[in-house]
Amino acid sequence: MNEQRKHWLLRTENIRKLWMLFIAILIATVVAGLFVHQHEAFGIEDSLGFYAWYGFITCVGMVIFAKLLGLFLKRPETYYDTESDMGSNTDEAHHD
């Protein structure tokens, strides 16, 4: 599709601008952290950008963990589709 006919949100140049804006906001939140004092219950919350790196790292960790778990747990969508054939096939004829 022509770049100009796309929705403005989907144009490559605007996506780049959005990324720049997003990164600017991210930096702003970390800088803002310098000016407020976090109440320290555990002695780490007031270090520079604690919530930023903690949020980022735990999320990356959760995605990777989910991905690894998916190797064991993922099955095709039709996995359970045969269940109606098991055991209940004799009853099926008597319905209605």
Partner 1 sequence: MTELLFPPGLLLVLGGLLMPLGMKIRNGLIFILPVLCLVLIWSAPADYIVTFPFLGFELEPIKITSTGQMFATVFSLMALVGGIFAYKQASTLELSAAFVYAGSAIGVTLSGDLITLFIFWEIMAIGSTLVIWAARHDAAYRASIRYLMIHLFGGLLLMAGIAGHVVETGSIRFEALSLESISQYLILAGFLINAGAPPLSAWIADAYPEASPSGTVFLSAFTTKTAVFTLLVAFPGAWLLIPIGIYMIFYGIIYALLENDMRRILAYSIINQVGFMVTGIGLGTEMALNGAAAHAFAHIIYKALLLMSAGAVLYQTGKRRCTDLGGLFQTMPWTALLGIIGALAISSFPFTSGFISKSMIAQSAADQQLIFIWFALAAASAGVFLHAGIKFPWFVFFQKDSGMRPAEAPPNMLLAMTVFAALCVGLGVYPDPLYAILPFAVIYEPYTAAHLVAQFQLLLFAGLAFFVMLPMMKRTLTISLDFDWFYRKVLPATGHTGLTVINGFAACLQGMSQRCINSCKSAFKSSRLSHYHLSESWPTGSMVLWIGVMLGGYLVMNAWF
Shortest Å, Cβ 76 to partner 1? 6
Query: CA quadruple 59, 10, 27, 33: dihedral positive or negative?
Result: negative
The secondary structure of 1-20 as a DSSP string is --GGGS-GGGSHHHHHHHHH
Degrees, nearest 5: CA angle 65-70-73: 130
13 vs 32, beta carbon nearer partner 1: 32
Whole-number Å distance between alpha carbons of 11 and 1: 10
Q: Which residues contact 18 (CB under 8 A, 6 or more apart)?
A: none
20 vs 58, beta carbon nearer partner 1: 58
Shortest Å, Cβ 13 to partner 1? 17
Residues between 2 and 31 with contacts to partner 1, criterion CB under 8 A: 7, 9-10, 22, 25-26, 29-30
Binding site for partner 1 (CB under 8 A): 7, 9-10, 22, 25-26, 29-30, 32-33, 35-39, 41-42, 45, 49-56, 58-60, 62-67, 69-70, 72-77, 79-80, 83-84, 86-87
